[in-house]
Amino acid sequence: MNYMDSLHDQLEEKDLWSFWVFPDRSGFIKIKISTEEKFEKIISKEVNKYKNRWVVNIRLADLHNETDPTSHRVREGIMLMLKINAHLLDENAKISCVRSGRQSCNIAWTVDDFKVTKISFKLIERLMYTMLKTGRTCPFFTGYPLRDLIEEFEKDGYDFSDVLNPLAGL
């Protein structure tokens, strides 16, 4: 079994294709709720606890078996997409649609990106916190190349060396 098949099975088994995180909580506690509507319904019960806080939705998409030759992802060799969407909850603990209350990064893994690192929750966590600290947004529909994003963050003084784990054999 190759790495992508194994990763797919692990994410499927643990149901971690999509989850939410409150970045101001200690630890990287994953809240498994499938939709924005369900998430808002849960937090609406405790508005004072959640208002004016950042919340992050993280989604993974396994594209390694996609075969549609018209797909830009297939043409560009994208194997995996990571979407990090950060939202500032408003006074009513609703997800803000205001541009200043939203940050987003669509990050693409190609085969060459796996030479830099495999995916891990420690890497996702570091990308999320660095994105929030820098205010960085990269909402490219096709996905921003992982290696380029890490290089840009490192140029700004952020260290990723302890979370990078290249895929052997590439």
Quick one: pLDDT at residue 107? 93
- Per-block average pLDDT, block size 10, for the chain (170 residues)? 83 87 90 84 91 92 73 71 91 76 86 91 94 86 88 95 88
SS3 5: helix
- CA-to-CA distance for 37 and 55, rounded, in angstroms? 14
Integer angstrom CA distances of residue 95 from 21, 40, 54, 161? 13, 7, 9, 33
Quick one: pLDDT at residue 20? 93
Q: How far apart are the first and last CA of the chain?
A: 15
| Strand-pair partners of 61 | 81
- CA-to-CA distance for 126 and 106, rounded, in angstroms? 15
Quick one: pLDDT at residue 148? 93
| Cβ neighbours of residue 73 closer than 8 Å, sequence gap 6 or more | 63, 66, 81, 108, 142, 143
For helices 146-155 and 121-134, angle between their N-to-C axes, nearest 10 degrees? 50
CB 37 within 8 A of CB 95: no
How much is the CA Rg of the chain, to the nearest whole Å?
A: 17
Residue boundaries of the structural domains of the chain: 3-155
Quick one: pLDDT at residue 65? 74
| Strand-pair partners of 56 | 21, 86
Quick one: pLDDT at residue 165? 94
Quick one: pLDDT at residue 103? 85
